[in-house]
Amino acid sequence: MSRITDAFKNGKAFIPFITCGDPDLDTTAAAVRAMAENGADIIELGIPFSDPTAEGPVIQEANVRALSVGTTTDKIFQLVRTLRADVKIPLVFMTYANVVFSYGADKFFAACKDMQIDGIIIPDLPYEERDEFLPACRKYGVELISMIAPTSEERIDMIAKEAEGFIYIVSSLGVTGTRGQITTDISAIVERIRAVTDTPCAVGFGISTPEQAEKFAALSDGAIVGSAVIKILDKYGKDAPEHIAAYVKEMKQAVNSASERTGKIN
């Protein structure tokens, strides 16, 4: 069992996302530690990119802010090496194919192994093209996280059968961002996934409130939150980590409530 899958073994997982370097890397480090200390089970670390096609305005602007202060992939790698002195939960990169291509896939994933990165999410990498990176991921023990969207339809079984770590269920069509209402039949997607694999699945895109986190964690194996965390960073800047700590604690409690409702307690 991988460290990512292991994070789900005792209950529902809460998975926050943060764009590295927004507003600076010191704040990122403090925020990551705050999330880990207040209940995050896995943390997604966004490597900023100039054209993040899957992201809504909130995370797009975070990418711009991070890049504008000189955030680079190498600086993020050094940040993660520093964090690994005390942050022991699984860490997953989320970035775009061009970032990995431009760095060099073998070099990129060798660095991931060195800094104990557990997995990677590449939103613009179609399932059919995953072999571009899968050999390097396997070589260096980095799990390539699969995404399943409402439009995946007949491809759900195929994607789920090959999935590793956890499956990222995209709750809604479109880009990332908080949503007042999510109408996708998540339970139907989860049912199809569970028919072909035991790999855990967590729901993201649009979740921002404890009520939403509890609802979708109850239907799946966890909840993923990104834009809501970035909004806190945008509002409070360098003072954001303490507010992120409180938010993550509240969201983890909601996810634990879902665990209690389903009899799976973390």
Structural domains of the chain sorted by starting position, each given as residue range(s) with its CATH number in brackets: 13-262 (3.20.20.70)
State what percent of residues in the chain have pLDDT above 90.
84
Dihedral in degrees, nearest 10, Cα atoms 243, 246, 247, 252: 160
The residue type of 187 is S
Q: What Å distances lie between residue 130 and 33, 68, 252, CA to CA?
A: 31, 31, 32
The two structure tokens encoding residue 91: 């860490």
Q: Please report, rounded to a whole number, the percentage of residues in the chain having pLDDT higher than 70.
A: 92
User: Which residue type occupies 16?
Assistant: P
pLDDT surpassing 80 at residue 53: no
**Each residue of 131-159: pLDDT tens digit?**
999 999 999 999 999 999 888 888 999 99
pLDDT at 13 over 60: yes
Task: Judge whether residue 209 has pLDDT over 70.
Answer: yes
Whether residue 252 is predicted with pLDDT greater than 90 in this model: the reply is yes
The average confidence (pLDDT) of the chain is 92
Question: 0.75 cut: is pTM over it?
Answer: yes
- CB atoms closer than 10 angstroms to residue 151: 8
pLDDT greater than 80 at residue 261: yes
- Tokens 């799946």 locate to 220
Q: Tokens for 134?
A: 């899968």
The count of other CB atoms within 10 Å of the CB of residue 175 is: 18
Report the alpha-carbon distance of residue 266 to residue 251 in Å, rounded: 13
49 CB neighbour count, 10 Å cutoff = 21
CB atoms within 10 A of CB 176: 24
- DSSP H stretches of helix in the chain: 3-6, 25-37, 57-68, 73-83, 97-103, 105-114, 134-140, 156-162, 186-194, 210-219, 227-236, 240-262
pLDDT over 60 (residue 181):
no
Measured in degrees and rounded to the nearest 5, phi and psi for residue 261 equal -65, -35
Distance CA 134, CA 219 (A): 29
